[in-house]
Structure 1
């Protein structure tokens, strides 16, 4: 049986096989054709083949320590070893004192471009923290730069807090990981943590205000050209302070902060005009360089902190585009503040949907969520799911489900004015009817809070979440019909005299969700041309029922 040409059969017999014929392969050289076709692919793009090579195979193909696959191995592919803060200072490549105004302007503008790149979905490690000055801000001798770097830490923490509270982001929108950097009260890395260097909000604002005053004094005592540079630098410090204060008021909104926040945002708009006008005054990035500024930035410094993934090229936003982004962001935040004047839920929901159509950035979408409801709609939905307003809670726990239930109650009154929500109505004369109505309003908190939250997601994600939300509203519709039946029975009304108040209100929102879902497919170009006629027919039918 050792002969390779023998084949064994189950009955014990063996048969000698003929010698295998030689196989001839007709190899075709496709090298030239391959390189010709891949010219259509951008850097980082993959060719998807549904049968042989899909996303699962692509993700499974990543191997740690493979230079072609592991992003961390880019450091070993011909790049010079990046210098950290101390090494760069020792080598004379990083100035921590005696910086010219143009150098300070260049560093600040480049940092703003990095912040915008972070808000557009890149990681902190590959954007903002490529700035070596942010690695040890307390070691900087130059006072304006030190105050600015400390403020950047506080600003990043405030932005991340705002976005995390709103919970309207996906992985393609925002990356909240800090990669070991201590944001917030202690602007320094974990390895060099010193509790004595903690900086609270008021101290940070005071530092910026102090430097702002000193820079304005220098501007008044300097010649024309130098005056312009010091004024431009002071405008950037002032913008940072006012923007930080405005975000603090948004994330910690109270009834007294409205006028202050609007004034701060108006001041930010004025400062942005000066910043955009003087953008050319600062040092500029070197030609064909990945660094956003000639001094102070090292794109590869945090490469080892990245997880083992495909190398992803992070393109820092050009300065002029980044400054324009900030200008538009301030305008969107000013517009978002108008939600505080919407006293009716239907008006607020229209505002959310209209704001979403403008394709706003993640920060302005998150700010809108926090401005409308505190805690955010996401937190309200979570509290309602955990037990609603009837769940036991600590003495100082938030009562958002109660507050939002009251908002929905007023919405019901203004929409259809059900007798069950009026005082001394026979419709709620029985304890059972009152309990049904209150439980229904408590039940409405979660789906309607989720609806508001969904309006804060990006347009593509909204469609996926609307499909899931429709199922929840369908169950709510059935419950509303049951409540109507109980209420009309308690009032002794039957037949044509019965009013389906609660189910009509829910049906109105169900139809709006259906229309939004159908129209989002048109916006995202998901339909084939032959599907248009019945999509429009469905939209017309839904609108006719409103």
Structure 2
């Protein structure tokens, strides 16, 4: 079928056409093209390229038949299957179902089953229409083994319907994340859910009273029970009932040991799956092979699906907006990342029907974030302002201006959470567009801040050491600037995780991360100064209450933690930037040839996401190069500075690892948060060791000696932390 020999030249008997073999001329011309060079005829259109596809090519033509091959599979659906054969088919269907969850289309997984095709073609409206044997001679009582398989298949199809509907209802990327295409097949939408569950339970009870081998009986019955629980889980999951759904996910998880223990009892029936079924599907794509996922891999994916489904429900335990964002970010950064179905469930819990977590309004969570970041116990967030109807009252105008701000900021804020729910590549790509919107939000908020001053009667800070002009708080724009900086840091850090940067670019990108985190730390210090000023005024007030005091305490705790995290980040980034700069000077990091660009062009490409941002401003390429390479310092000076920065980052990480959940604003995800911090701490310790090794080798080599070291940069997943790329340095003879 896949003979590599070229076909013979066509024999055309026509006076108007003369065929010429141009193979040699074409090969000779192709050999003259440089690697990477592209030759394109501007007049060769898409229509012509599609027309060039060869008919009767088995790789492109789904209707192509080998000699003696028939269009249909001559499969006997009335044949009674052995129990071990039913078990083998069920396990293969579970494997295909997990392959579908991994991102493969139904046409290459579940829809390759002849039994699934028998049920769906034609579209059944009641359970009696799902029988395999539809001949006139079919027995009145369906054999138990066929009933067992049919019940499982019907439950599987209905499960796929719920999963497919949930994924399509949320934000995802077709083909990239998940394939929802059903090829014009109806996934039993018309058949009642309860009737399918009853069929599964009735069949399981019949199996209990049968004379099948006890081990096989246990394996088959357990799989029917698993399918019934799975069906109930995906049906209940949409209702946002955390307690009931979590119990179902945990019950599902309890079936995994049984699957692993009994899968060897089954007997494979490969003839019950066929790639020919793709010809019957409403599809324009060429035929594709059946996707085969091993049972071990399928069981592992199923187990992770259940664990992630149960853990996902912890999002309903809302404590504060920052803990919520921390939970979502850490949950989505799991390795491997949660499946698309779980990620869309999380989106549904967060934003379904525009109600956050099923009980909170968008205003509640937005005001919570504003209050805990920049406006603790502030009159701008007072709900009583909404009751004022006198246009001349300052509270009426404050409420109106704040509502304008909420309408502008709510979508941008929720988009952060929605973006984090995507795959890792899409998170970074979407953030590159999102920061532009936050930059515009910051500018809009500055105007609102200025308008609100006349109603709040804010008194500026007059400090000649800071500025010759009076300094105002600008709370709304400060909040927007804080989140814009945070997202800019994520873009750079995800670049390390996704291995976007070349090895010789790591010094520069860690330097830019250092600048972003240092800017955020300074901005947090500014916010903290204004909050402390308001807190001092509040404590002197005779009407100071306990609730307001708690709000100030919470905001100060958040600012202190955020400053600790920011200073730790820029210290660690500074250490790695200096380390990679020193290794580059020692010529220990090879630079790959780049015939199509230079350093200036690469700098423009790396900084392209930030070109449209007003603040912080980008430095010029010359200044960037000078700051990264630090030509005024020698190598030993660079390494000494790197050791000091790494030691400071290590202390910061050690302090963070000992914080309580409420102090680190990671309530609901403390275990994952501590694990993330400790991985960063390990990377920091390893950085210290690497710097000391390089410094020792440089001192041993002297001024004119050659440093005898070998540098290996681990790929993503092989180091201690994906955001901190620490080179491995070994001595060579």
TM-score w.r.t. structure 2 length? 0.57
Kindly provide the CA deviation profile for residues 70-106 of structure 1, in whole angstroms up to 9, marking residues without a partner as x. Answer: 644364355833535xx422xxxx446x432211111
The CA deviation at 1:304 is: 5.1
- Taking a change above 3 Å as real, the CA distance of residues 304 and 424 of structure 1, as seen in their structure-2 partners, is closer
Answering whether residue 406 of structure 2 is matched by residue 422 of structure 1, we say no
The CA deviation at 1:404 is: 1.9
**Take 1:419 and 1:240, find their aligned partners in 2: how far apart are those partners?**
55
**Take 1:490 and 1:26, find their aligned partners in 2: how far apart are those partners?**
82
**Take 2:104 and 2:45, find their aligned partners in 1: how far apart are those partners?**
21
Structure 2 residue runs of 5 or longer lacking an equivalent are 1-21, 120-129, 133-141, 462-470, 522-733
The CA deviation at 1:267 is: 1.0
The CA deviation at 1:316 is: 2.1
Q: 1:369 aligns to what?
A: 347
Q: 1:265 aligns to what?
A: 249
Q: How many residue pairs get matched?
A: 453
**Take 1:480 and 1:457, find their aligned partners in 2: how far apart are those partners?**
28
SS at match of 2:97: helix
- Taking a change above 3 Å as real, the CA distance of residues 234 and 206 of structure 1, as seen in their structure-2 partners, is same
The CA deviation at 1:315 is: 2.3
**Take 1:412 and 1:278, find their aligned partners in 2: how far apart are those partners?**
54
The CA deviation at 1:282 is: 1.0
Kindly provide the CA deviation profile for residues 335-359 of structure 1, in whole angstroms up to 9, marking residues without a partner as x. Answer: 1111111342221211221122122
Q: Is the 8 A contact 1:103 1:283 kept in 2?
A: yes
Q: 2:197 aligns to what?
A: 205
**Take 1:467 and 1:57, find their aligned partners in 2: how far apart are those partners?**
35
Answering whether residue 317 of structure 2 is matched by residue 333 of structure 1, we say no
The CA deviation at 1:310 is: 5.2
Kindly provide the CA deviation profile for residues 297-326 of structure 1, in whole angstroms up to 9, marking residues without a partner as x. Answer: 112212353644455444221222112211
Aligned pairs (5 A) from 1:438-457: 438-457=403-422
Answering whether residue 197 of structure 2 is matched by residue 232 of structure 1, we say no
- Taking a change above 3 Å as real, the CA distance of residues 72 and 127 of structure 1, as seen in their structure-2 partners, is farther
Q: Is the 8 A contact 1:147 1:208 kept in 2?
A: yes
SS at match of 2:189: coil
Aligned pairs (5 A) from 1:76-475: 76-77=65-66, 80-83=69-72, 87-89=74-76, 94-95=77-78, 98-137=80-119, 138-140=130-132, 141=142, 142-186=146-190, 199-218=191-210, 226-253=213-240, 257-284=241-268, 293-303=269-279, 305=281, 307-309=283-285, 311-358=287-334, 359-375=337-353, 403-416=361-374, 417=376, 418-423=378-383, 429-475=394-440
**Take 1:202 and 1:72, find their aligned partners in 2: how far apart are those partners?**
42
Structure 1 residue runs of 5 or longer lacking an equivalent are 1-24, 35-46, 187-198, 285-292, 381-398
**Take 1:372 and 1:499, find their aligned partners in 2: how far apart are those partners?**
32
The CA deviation at 1:534 is: 2.3
- Taking a change above 3 Å as real, the CA distance of residues 362 and 424 of structure 1, as seen in their structure-2 partners, is closer
- Taking a change above 3 Å as real, the CA distance of residues 524 and 328 of structure 1, as seen in their structure-2 partners, is same
- Taking a change above 3 Å as real, the CA distance of residues 433 and 265 of structure 1, as seen in their structure-2 partners, is same
TM-score w.r.t. structure 1 length? 0.75
Displaced runs of 4 or more, over 6 A:
28-31, 56-60, 399-402, 425-428
**Take 1:329 and 1:95, find their aligned partners in 2: how far apart are those partners?**
35
The CA deviation at 1:490 is: 0.9
Answering whether residue 62 of structure 2 is matched by residue 73 of structure 1, we say yes
The CA deviation at 1:528 is: 2.0
The CA deviation at 1:122 is: 2.2
**Take 1:303 and 1:65, find their aligned partners in 2: how far apart are those partners?**
17
Q: Is the 8 A contact 1:119 1:174 kept in 2?
A: yes
- Taking a change above 3 Å as real, the CA distance of residues 532 and 479 of structure 1, as seen in their structure-2 partners, is same
**Take 1:350 and 1:314, find their aligned partners in 2: how far apart are those partners?**
40
The CA deviation at 1:126 is: 2.2
**Take 1:118 and 1:26, find their aligned partners in 2: how far apart are those partners?**
42
What is the root-mean-square deviation of aligned Cα atoms in Å? 3.4
Answering whether residue 478 of structure 2 is matched by residue 513 of structure 1, we say no
Which of 503, 513, 516 aligns to 1:529? It is 503
